[in-house]
Structure 1
Amino acid sequence: MKRYELAVIPGDGIGKEVVPSAVKVLQTAATLHGGIQLETTEFPWGCDYYIKHGKMMSDDGLERLKNFDAIFLGAVGDPNKVPDHISLWGLLIHIRREFEQTINIRPAKLFKGLTSPLVDPGAFNFLVVRENSEGEYSESGGRIHKETDEIAIQNAIFTRKATERVMDYAFKQAVLRKGHVTSATKSNGIVHSMPFWDEVFNDVSKRYTGVRTSSVHIDALAAFFVTKPSDFDVIVASNLFGDILTDIGGAIMGSIGIAPAGNININGKYPSMFEPVHGSAPDIYGKGIANPIGQIWTASLMLDHLGEIALAREVLRAMEEVTDAGIKTRDIGGNATTDEVTNKICLQLQNNIG
């Protein structure tokens, strides 16, 4: 029997509700599978922890996390308690950077039972592979002078190593999917980093002669996500461009609340971390109406990363069968509670696997 040790961080707001739901689904799936065992260890880090201790996680937090097989994160942030730049950089980004989680993956698909806001979305199913460590979100720059003479400088850093790494990962994913990689660029307007991005994309593509490629400017690509999303398979993008595109991906699915994400460490030194795209939504925390689909799909993504591909597909299948049956929370057109959706998914897994 395979045994996986998972670090669980519910975090803030509805993370405290949907993470237990997803863990319940994970444990149900593992029990029905019979060949794996999931051991979970929960950590109480987040904004409430910050209020008590003046920090988002314990000083030895990274040391405690580094030997787990994966990190399962809920949501981070509660601006009424802690400024967003403190909560985000003190936990989520801190783990991403220190654990060299250099690639972010976010799938989007036409989900059964959900109504896309697009009139004719087609059966889209794509994966955005986002560079997660540098680019436009690099910590290079600063502010000088004051008032009318004040200047803010933000430098976008692109290294060949990181750019090749994310593109290589995207091509490998395309080999497993439909064999098409689209590069998000803006080389007609950003005259240094984006032509460099294009050159590296061309170099990497030569290693994968069986994969079709295209390069599309980000403004047009954002429009194509709305007008013809089914044309895409794998999209590789810089930190900022990937961030924007994946929110569009969530929107055309019908709700950003169902979108999953993975922060991937590819050198094997540290665990990868999995989190839903949605925020902590503190305004609805405690009402029992939070949508658990994003966190449960994130659990499926984590299983896939751990090599439990068949079980990951069973979890995704059960989720879609439940939403297709009309059992949905109110944010996606239903009236079910968090627990009702979770329990139905567990029951569906039992029907499918058991």
Structure 2
Amino acid sequence: MTTYKLGVLYGDGIGPEIVQSTVDVLQAAVERAEGISFEFVELPMGWSGINEYGDPVPALTKEALETCHGWIMGPHDSAAYPLEHKAKRNPSGELRHHFDLYANIRPSKTIAGIKSMVGQADLVIFRENTEGFYPDRNMYAGSGEFMVNPETALVVGVFTKKAAERIAHAAFRMALQRRKKVAIVHKANVIKLGYGLFLETCREVGKQYPAVEVEDYHIDAMTAHLVRRAKDFDVIVTTNMFGDILSDLAGELVGSLGLAPSINTNDNQAMAQAAHGSAPDIAGKNMANPVGEMLSAVMLLDWLASRHQDESLQQLARTVETAIMRTIEAGICTRDLGGTATTTEFTKAIAERL
């Protein structure tokens, strides 16, 4: 029996509801599997961390996550935190920075039963997760933005060859398993040194993968291409801010941001985290859509299966994914997708299909 230790961070807003649904489905699935078990470790994050420990990401949470194979993270409502906590990195940024989770992987794929604005599409965005123009996590110490006077703000973007190389390798490795196409997205025509370094480094890495077709696009053009011909793209690799924007666009184009999953990885650990926010306006109403969080957990299972060469875990991932998709295809879904199911009813329907 192989036991995988998974951290569980419920978070804020709808987080406790969608994370609990995800844990319930994983537990229902693993009870029917052979040779695998999960140890779920519940840890404070967000308001629970503030209320109990005075910190949205307490030290004990980070220490416990060090011992986990991976973890499931709910959304956070950092915009509502007290001022002293708003000045810090938000929980997601803090964990990405602390664990050097350099790759944010966000797939966008059409789902049977869900209306897509772009027809059939199946792409994955690899977002560099540690630098670029995100000033809360691109510095060893301090923040990458400051004001020289009350009317002038400066923001420092950081671009390193090391960061570009490792996200590029991750993207090209994925492309080899898919349709063998990589699109590099940048703005090297204007930000010539920063994005030029990113572009050329990705091109250099691409030469090590001769089976993969490589092309590149300016970020503004890419937004138009995604709307017009999303089906043509396979793997997209880009920087932190551009990846954040493109993945939200791609998620909405294929159905809903509420369906959009992601994982953050550092090659040794992975964090499952839906791409959407905490939706405090519907928190506690049993109407939240847990699909993004559930599919993020499926990605986590796939990542763990690959890392630990565990075929049983990979089969479990397919079982869970199939149950989710067939439930949606049968017309059982939450209100945001045009259905009538509550969060718990939807979760129960998936568990029954397992």
Structure 1 counterpart of 2:72, one-letter code: F
Determine whether 1:66 maps to 2:66. Answer: yes
Of 50-59 and 189-198, the range deviating more from structure 2: 50-59
Match of 2:342 in 1: 337
Matches of 2:234 and 2:227, distance apart in 1: 15
Matches of 2:98 and 2:56, distance apart in 1: 15
Match of 1:301 in 2: 299
Matches of 2:302 and 2:88, distance apart in 1: 26
Determine whether 1:130 maps to 2:127. Answer: yes
Match of 2:38 in 1: 38
Distance 1:127 1:179, change over 3 A: same
Distance 1:321 1:17, change over 3 A: same
Matches of 1:78 and 1:142, distance apart in 2: 19
Per-residue Cα deviation, 1:104-129 (whole angstroms, up to 9, x for no partner) = 0001100111112x2xx232111000
State the SS of the aligned residue for 1:175. Answer: helix
The gaps in structure 2 that reach 5 residues or longer are 306-312
Per-residue Cα deviation, 1:26-71 (whole angstroms, up to 9, x for no partner) = 1111122222101101013212431454311323332221010101
- The answer as to whether partners of 1:56 and 1:87 remain within 8 angstroms in 2 is no
Of 95-104 and 46-55, the range deviating more from structure 2: 46-55
CA RMSD across the alignment: 1.7
Q: Which consecutive aligned stretches of 4+ in structure 1 deviate over 3 angstroms post-superposition?
A: 78-85, 139-142, 144-147
- Please list, as runs of the form range in 1=range in 2, the aligned pairs for 1:73-92 lying within 5 A after superposition: 73-77=73-77, 79-82=79-82, 86=86, 89-92=89-92
Identity %, equivalent residues: 39
- Please list, as runs of the form range in 1=range in 2, the aligned pairs for 1:1-354 lying within 5 A after superposition: 1-77=1-77, 79-82=79-82, 86=86, 89-116=89-116, 118=117, 121-137=118-134, 138-139=138-139, 141-147=144-150, 150-266=151-267, 268=268, 271-307=269-305, 308-349=313-354
Per-residue Cα deviation, 1:75-98 (whole angstroms, up to 9, x for no partner) = 111534446972972522111111
- The answer as to whether partners of 2:44 and 2:61 remain within 8 angstroms in 1 is no
Matches of 2:171 and 2:98, distance apart in 1: 22
State the SS of the aligned residue for 2:89. Answer: helix
Distance 1:231 1:85, change over 3 A: farther
Normalised by the size of structure 2, how large is the TM-score? 0.92
Distance 1:90 1:141, change over 3 A: closer
Aligned length, in residue pairs: 341
Structure 2 counterpart of 1:141, one-letter code: G
The gaps in structure 1 that reach 5 residues or longer are 350-354
Normalised by the size of structure 1, how large is the TM-score? 0.92
